[in-house]
Amino acid sequence: MKLYTINTGHFKLDGGAMFGVVPKSLWNKANPADDNNMCSWALRCLLIVDGNRKILIDNGMGNKQDEKFFGHYYLHGNDTLEKSLFNYGYTPDDITDVFLTHLHFDHCGGSIKRENDKLVPAFKNATYWSSAKHWNAALHPNDREKASFLKENILPIEESGKLRFVETTDGEEWAPNIRIRYVNGHTDSMMLPQINNNGTQILYCADLLPSIHHLPMPWVMAYDMRPLETMNEKKRLLAEAVAGNWVLFFEHDPINECCSLQKTDKGVRLKTTFALKDIQNHIL
């Protein structure tokens, strides 16, 4: 198994929304805001190459939206999904599986691209994986969450005939050396891959822990549907992670790809940060 970081650019979100009840006097030190209170965040995905399978976990927000959309979210930087794949010798056509942790636009927007007046799969040879419960929630969203579920990102996947549902239970293996952990605080049935890479457990954190700054319990996004449940899920998984010496992989941290953890008097906290490619140098 080989793992590759796939950077698809950066975007901006309101700092208060990303840090919830945490005062700006604290979070602004972690990720300084611009004059509009917007902070820059990564759109970082993960490619798993294992035998003949090339599994892409999430795919950023894509580039098919209109000028008004990008005027809200400010996609910026020189990274794109295609460039990142090319850096490792791959193209979108090489991807065999697209695993979607959830269907918010910044995680699945790259699934679909425009070809003339049609919306088609960006990974024409891939199977797309979601969970049935989350898929149903995305098609019938609550009023608070519906702005994050864009039909143009979701419906063409089903129409292509390439959609499949993950049917594992929590902690069960979905593919060799890849277990799925389910969390429901951010959105219904978000799936976090837990990857066994030569004995090292790597948790792809998606939106349970967007960045290293979300490790403390109260640092929970205002975007979460059930913030108290998020806190309980963080507490449970972080306890497992520190006990098992796991690595956390961050999708949205603008600087840090991975971290290790340690137990302190204040709870589970950051030990050290490092790039995915340097992982073996940092695991004790």
Q: Which of 160, 133, 165, 137 is nearest to 149 (CA)?
A: 137
What is the distance in angstroms between the CA of the first residue and the CA of the last residue of the chain?
Answer: 20
pLDDT at 284 over 50: no
Q: What is the pLDDT of residues 251-272, one digit of tens each?
A: 999 999 999 999 999 999 999 9
Per-domain residue ranges of the chain? 2-281
Place of tokens 């604290």: 26
Q: What is the pLDDT of residues 116-159, one digit of tens each?
A: 889 999 999 999 999 999 999 999 999 999 999 999 999 999 99
CA 20 to chain centre: 19
Q: What is the pLDDT of residues 96-126, one digit of tens each?
A: 999 999 999 999 999 999 998 899 999 999 9
pLDDT at 282 over 80: no
Mean pLDDT over residues 84-88, rounded?
97
Superfamily covering domain 2-281 = Ribonuclease Z/Hydroxyacylglutathione hydrolase-like (3.60.15.10)
| Beta carbons within 10 angstroms of residue 1's beta carbon | 15
pLDDT at 283 over 90: no
